[in-house]
Amino acid sequence: MKNVLKKLYLALLLIFMYAPIITLIVLSFNSSKSRAKWGGFTLNWYINLLSDEAVAGALINTLTIAILATIFSTIIGTVTSIAMIGLNTKLRSFIMGITNIPMINADIVTGISLMLLFRFLHIGTGFTTILLAHITFNIPFVMLSIMPRIKNMNFYVYEAALDLGASPVYAFTKTILPDLVPGIVSGALMAFTMSLDDFIITYFTKGSGFETLSTLIYNEVKRGIQPEIYALSAIIFVVVLTLLMIVYRVPSSKTKEKANEK
């Protein structure tokens, strides 16, 4: 009885989470422009979408910014996390305090503060400003996923490597870096998804005439929903689902191994 109730609750919440998405996907194949009536199956909206240059441009912008922001924020975040090894606790917590600001602060405040900065510095809004903003809010995610590994690290291994005659650089790449790699990878993945998903900070730092997928959708929605947007949602959902399945495959097989060891 108790188990039935538990399963029912799980099922209801899963329906709440997924029914809207499924409705959206169904509507993307609906030939009737009205959302309420089923006018028959069509792929027209997908065809329209693919020939839409604005969407293609926004997609390219989104991906370019996400990839570049991930690369830069991962490099800066990793280097800074490693630098933390050499800092005393006071400086460490000072840096972590500043790093926490964009995470705790509301996106809208972060967005307008950067907008004020870019206007003040007369940096032309668009690609560059969005990229700078994304790097800024991504670095904390990278650092937060690396720092726990830094804190739990066994530095004797590094010293042992030096003792055995390794150069500091060689010892570092052979002992410390491998320990950090899982943190770096998950930080980079976080940064990438945060960048893809961001709307608010992009909205305030983009200026006019430059769109990412998020801002494009926002403009479209304000004008009224076009069925092409459903097609776009469906594609994004399927792509995200596939990517996640690939990403999650790796750690899940690892946890299984660990469970078996126990």
Partner 1 sequence: MKLFKSKSSAGLLSAPYMAWALIFILVPLGMVFYYGLTNDSGSFTLENITTIAKPGYLKALIRSLRLAVISTFVCFILAYPLGMILSSMKLSKNTYIVTLFILPMWMNFLLRTLTWMTLLEGKGVINTVLEFFHLPTINVINTGAAIVLGMVYNFLPFMILPIYNSLNKIDENVINAARDLGANTLQTFLKITLPLSLPGILSGITMVFIPALTTFAISTMLGGSKILLIGNIIEQEFTQLYDWHLGSGLSIVLMVFIILNMIIETIFDKGGNA
Site for partner 1 in 157-196 (CB under 8 A): 158-159, 162, 168, 193, 196
The reply to whether 46 sits near partner 1 by the rule CB under 8 A is no
Closest approach, Cβ 157 to partner 1, in A, equals 12
The reply to whether 106 sits near partner 1 by the rule CB under 8 A is yes
The reply to whether 99 sits near partner 1 by the rule CB under 8 A is yes
The reply to whether 1 sits near partner 1 by the rule CB under 8 A is no
The reply to whether 132 sits near partner 1 by the rule CB under 8 A is yes
What angle (nearest 5°) sits at the alpha carbon of residue 124, between those of residues 118 and 127? 95
The residue (of 44 and 107) whose beta carbon lies closer to partner 1 is 107
**Residues 26/15, Cβ–Cβ less than 8 Å:** no
The reply to whether 6 sits near partner 1 by the rule CB under 8 A is yes
Structure tokens at 247: 């990403």
Among the residue ranges 46-54, 63-71, 177-185, 223-231, the one whose residues contact partner 1 (CB under 8 A): 223-231
The residue (of 14 and 56) whose beta carbon lies closer to partner 1 is 14
Structure tokens at 87: 């800092």
Helix (H), strand (E) at residue 6: helix 2-27
**Residues 145/73, Cβ–Cβ less than 8 Å:** no
Measured distance CA(156)–CA(109) in Å, rounded: 43
The reply to whether 249 sits near partner 1 by the rule CB under 8 A is no
Separation in Å, CA 242 to CA 8, 58, 73? 27, 21, 25
Total of residues contacting partner 1 (CB under 8 A): 84
